[in-house]
Structure 1
Amino acid sequence: MSNNKNNNQNHLNSTQAYPQYPSLSGRHALVTGGASGIGEALVRALAQQGCLVSFFDIDQIAGKTLSEELNGKGLKTHFSRVDLTDIETLKSTIIERIADWGAIRLLVNNAANDQRHSLQDFSSEQFDQCMSVNLKPHFFTAQVVAPAMAEAGGGSIINMSSNSWMLGLSGYLGYVTAKAGISGLTKGLARELGGQKIRVNTVLPGWVMTEKQKHLWLTPEAEAELMIQQALKEKIEPEDVADLVLFLGSDNSRMISGQSLVVDGGRL
């Protein structure tokens, strides 16, 4: 197991960790929830490809710090603090980013909140709030981005879901419901936008070891159980998800649309 850990760490630390996709260079990409976790890995990976990366997050400090770090290395990023539950501000900020850097050719709907709750203690207001974070923004970002994306010759929309709804996990039913809805939205959008050369796919990560996950929920017992369930006996890192997103965002996947691709180490 020590060799696997060392290999994984080398993957994370290497500046050559990702294959290069020339079609991504110079394209405007937008990542929601990009200041930490999987979103941060996506922002870093896309910036390394030469994308102009706009990213949104509610965490002002983390977002600004990340953008300043990457821009200091000569990469091109722009952070905007956006509360995704404020749809009108979300839409207007996207329009501002298009006006600044041109059509968004790659949209990654990544932001989510997997807050735990019970069935009996979850109110109607909490349910609505859960949908307003985990599902509703995916619809409206696509609505705003699609016209300019189509005019520019097409592009890729990637909706981040989760294998949790396919596994039928309990303990956060609102989140699981939203993530199932994302897969349905992807299917509809793929048909709606395919004639405009816009591809829409879903990425369904398994248990990805972000700092939040490790801090709140990863225990030795939980990790041991996960390794039993996964076919591949290594922990999934945010960069493993970014690998797939880069491919789906590039022209190398030009005939892939309406699909759900799982990154969970063979747990399903």
Structure 2
Amino acid sequence: MSNTRYSSLAGRRVIVTGGASGIGEGFVTAFAEQGATVDFLDVSDGSAVAARTDATFHHCDLTDIAALQATFAAIGPVDVLINNAANDDRHSVEDVTPAYWDERLAVNLRHKFFAAQAVVPGMKAQGRGVILNLGSISWHLGLPDLVLYQTAKAAIEGMTRSLARDLGRHGIRVNTIVPGNVQTPRQEKWYTPEGEAEIVAAQCLDGRIQPADVAALALFLASDDARMITGHDYFVDAGWR
């Protein structure tokens, strides 16, 4: 639970993509605790998260843009979009085919633009809104075996800058949150205890970043307290750079 209560988030309508687990589940939990009305999309089963948080789960394959658009239309106008969903499967340069390129960019980049596009009309109509895109520290560090994931994540920061410029006069703020290595069940499958110790040693701060740490930044950026903050990238990485 966040130590800070943001009165401006109470009653706000929030969509989280990829909210069934990991960082996304952290977002769903944090916004629900603030009294927001939360809808979340995922290709995996999110019924347990929905039951625990009173959020509404929508099963959706975000690579199917028509299904994404239909789901957003059914939800209706929202105040906050958390563009979170992604997948960091490892791959070598030699193994990338044109089909795999298209699939990885669809999973990690394309849906974020179309999700933003889907919420813009409602945000314009109400004269305000917040879009938070999830980036990654990986491309800033140049980690191995992630060339397509890192290509997508680098592009997200450029998309944020562009959307912030195009939408700002309508009262819509757009920022990127850049997590470091967050301790989730998925991330733990990639790292041995020794590997995790190496990450902590490379950070400025001791300890492992948790989904709640990333969600704490999202709450602030989504709140009216951040009303003049847009077009930038904000790291939650414990100084791992």
Question: TM-score per shorter chain, which class?
Answer: over 0.9
Amino acid paired to 1:19: T
Which AA in structure 1 matches 2:174?
V
Divergent runs of 4+, >4 A:
none
| Alpha-carbon distance between aligned partners in 2 of 1:48 and 1:23, rounded to the nearest angstrom | 13
Residue 224 (structure 1) aligns with? 197
Who is 2:208 aligned against?
Answer: 235
Q: Which whole-Å CA distance do the structure 1 matches of 2:193 and 2:12 have between them?
A: 42
1:241-252 to structure 2, matched below 5 A, reads: 241-252=214-225
2:18–2:41 contact (8 Å) kept in structure 1: yes
Aligned pair count reads 241
Q: Which residue number in structure 1 is paired with residue 63 of structure 2?
A: 85
Pair 1:95-2:73 in alignment: yes
Partner Cα distance (1:91, 1:121) in 2: 32
**1:167 pairs with one of 141, 165, 171:** 141
The answer (yes or no) to whether the contact 1:230–1:266 under 8 Å persists in 2 is yes
Distance 2:6 2:124 in 1: 21
* Structure 2 stretches lacking a partner, 5+ long: none
Q: Does 1:45 align with 2:48?
A: no
State the Cα distance separating 1:132 from its structure 2 match. 0.3
Aligned position for 2:20: 35
Equivalence for 1:70: 53
Q: Does 1:147 align with 2:121?
A: yes
Larger radius of gyration: 1
Shift of 1:223: 1.5
> 1:224, 1:50 → 2: CA distance?
37
The answer on whether the counterparts of 1:193 and 1:199 sit within 8 Å (CA) in structure 2 is: yes
Could you tell me which of 47, 55, 72 is aligned with 2:40? 55
Q: State the shift of 1:169 in Å.
A: 1.3
Distance 1:134 1:177 in 2: 9
- Distance (Å, rounded) in 1 between the aligned partners of 2:65 and 2:40: 16
Q: Residue 107 of structure 1 corresponds to which residue in structure 2?
A: 81
Task: Give unmatched runs, 5+ long, in structure 1.
Answer: 1-14, 72-76
TM-score (norm: length of structure 2): 0.98
C-alpha displacement of 1:218:
2.3
Given the alignment of the two structures, is residue 181 of structure 1 paired with residue 181 of structure 2, yes or no?
A: no
* Inter-partner Cα distance in structure 2 for 1:172 and 1:85: 19
Deviations 1:166-203 (A, max 9, x none): 11112111100000000000000000100100000000
Amino acid at match of 1:163: I
State whether residues 28 and 53 of structure 2, in contact with CA within 8 Å, keep that contact through their aligned partners in structure 1: no
Q: Distance in 2 between matches of 1:180 and 1:170?
A: 15
Q: For 2:130 and 2:216, how far apart are their aligned partners in 1?
A: 15
Q: Would the aligned equivalents of 1:199 and 1:256 in 2 still touch at CA under 8 Å? A: yes
Q: Distance in 1 between matches of 2:51 and 2:12?
A: 20
3-state SS in 2 of match to 1:107: strand
Whether contact under 8 Å (1:29, 1:106) holds in the other structure is yes
Deviations 1:120-169 (A, max 9, x none): 01111111101001000110011110110121121110000101111111
Aligned-pair CA distance for 1:69: 2.1
Could you tell me which residue of structure 2 aligns to residue 18 of structure 1?
Answer: 3
Structure 1 vs Structure 2 CA RMSD = 0.9
Aligned to 2:105: 131
Structure-1-length-normalised TM-score: 0.88
